Amino acid sequence: MALDEIKISRAILDRYFNKLSDCMELDVAVVGAGPSGLMAAFRLAEKGHKVAVFERKLSIGGGLWGGGMMFNEIVVQEEGAAILKNLGVGVEEAGEGYYTADAVECTTTLASLACKAGVKIFNLVSVEDVMVRENRVTGLVINWTAVEMANLHVDPLTVRSKFVIEATGHATEVLKVIQRKGDAKLLTESGQIAGERSMWAEVAEDTTLKNTREAFPGVYVAGMAANATFGSFRMGPIFGGMLLSGERVAKLIHERLSA
């Protein structure tokens, strides 16, 4: 077969634009392809919901790739180990209730499971704003990361979604934009993002789960963003809370979508 560069280019364009166009109306739009976002997307797609993930970077996985300080192993406790084993990730005992897993295997397995369950992942796309109707978020405003990086004056596109998952990690970018642009109050004690506190792994792992909830009508926070929103601690390279948070937010939204 003679290769035709134009056919190659057209195949990419047609397929991509069909994919993007099909994701203009979603059940759940996930912002951030870190461990909590990927886990949430996977579990929701498994239940048959239409889910897309928007990730600013070229690579997906967020902070999961790098383990701790670039030593690409992660630590989980009993519950996190059970989740990883269930996903098919190899887990090693490190004694006294600690387990380790290869960060690359975790990231690639999670991403693969999400894709195979039907999640569409759009990397190199940044969420710069949200759509709001009557004090409820109804979708995302997206643009190419390259546009954002070059600070070009190019208008964005929009995606409608029944629910949004804010999984942007430490940055809490979705809630920051809601806080900055609206005079609406967040569902936190002060009505504002409480802000992340310094490292305290034990408390942080626990509160991540409690803080995984609706933070503005239509927007659920998961992962590190949950602790940053509700004013809890960071936990460093222990990742069980991220996976559990992803599962929890998927369960909460599934219940809402099924009501």
**Residues whose CB is less than 8 angstroms from the CB of residue 217 and which lie 6 or more positions away in sequence, other chains included:** 135, 136, 137, 187
Min dist. Cβ of residue 47 to ligand 48F (A):
20
In the complex with ligand 48F, which residue's Cβ is closer, 64 or 114? 64
d(C-alpha 252, C-alpha 9), whole Å: 41
Instruction: Tell which one of 89, 209, 225, 244 touches ligand 48F (CB under 6 A).
Output: 225
d(C-alpha 40, C-alpha 119), whole Å: 10
Which amino acid, one-letter code, is at 31? V
In the chain, the N- to C-terminal Cα span, in Å, equals: 53
In the complex with ligand 48F, which residue's Cβ is closer, 14 or 106? 106
d(C-alpha 250, C-alpha 255), whole Å: 9
d(C-alpha 180, C-alpha 36), whole Å: 24
**Residues whose CB is less than 8 angstroms from the CB of residue 83 and which lie 6 or more positions away in sequence, other chains included:** 76, 240, 243, 244, 247
Min dist. Cβ of residue 248 to ligand 48F (A):
13
d(C-alpha 184, C-alpha 17), whole Å: 35
Instruction: Tell which one of 235, 244, 250, 253 touches ligand 48F (CB under 6 A).
Output: 235
Q: What angle do CA 48, 49, 51 make, to 5 degrees?
A: 130
In the complex with ligand 48F, which residue's Cβ is closer, 50 or 53? 53
Please give the size of the binding site for ligand 48F, defined by CB under 6 A: 28
- What tokens appear for 3 in the block? 């290769």
The pairing of strands 25-31 and 233-234 is unpaired
Instruction: Tell which one of 32, 67, 139, 218 touches ligand 48F (CB under 6 A).
Output: 32
In the complex with ligand 48F, which residue's Cβ is closer, 42 or 239? 239
d(C-alpha 13, C-alpha 21), whole Å: 12
Instruction: Tell which one of 23, 45, 63, 84 touches ligand 48F (CB under 6 A).
Output: 63
- What tokens appear for 231 in the block? 């004013």
In the complex with ligand 48F, which residue's Cβ is closer, 8 or 252? 252
With binding defined as CB under 6 A, does residue 240 bind ligand 48F? Answer: no
122-181 residues in contact with ligand 48F (CB under 6 A) are 126-127, 167-169, 171, 173
In the complex with ligand 48F, which residue's Cβ is closer, 10 or 181? 181
With binding defined as CB under 6 A, does residue 234 bind ligand 48F? Answer: yes
In the complex with ligand 48F, which residue's Cβ is closer, 58 or 259? 58
Name beta bridge partners: 54.
31, 122
Instruction: Tell which one of 49, 56, 248, 254 touches ligand 48F (CB under 6 A).
Output: 56
Min dist. Cβ of residue 169 to ligand 48F (A):
2
Min dist. Cβ of residue 259 to ligand 48F (A):
26
Q: Using CB under 6 A as the criterion, which residues of the chain lie in contact with ligand 48F when the complex forms?
A: 31-37, 54-57, 62-64, 126-127, 167-169, 171, 173, 223-225, 234-235, 239, 242
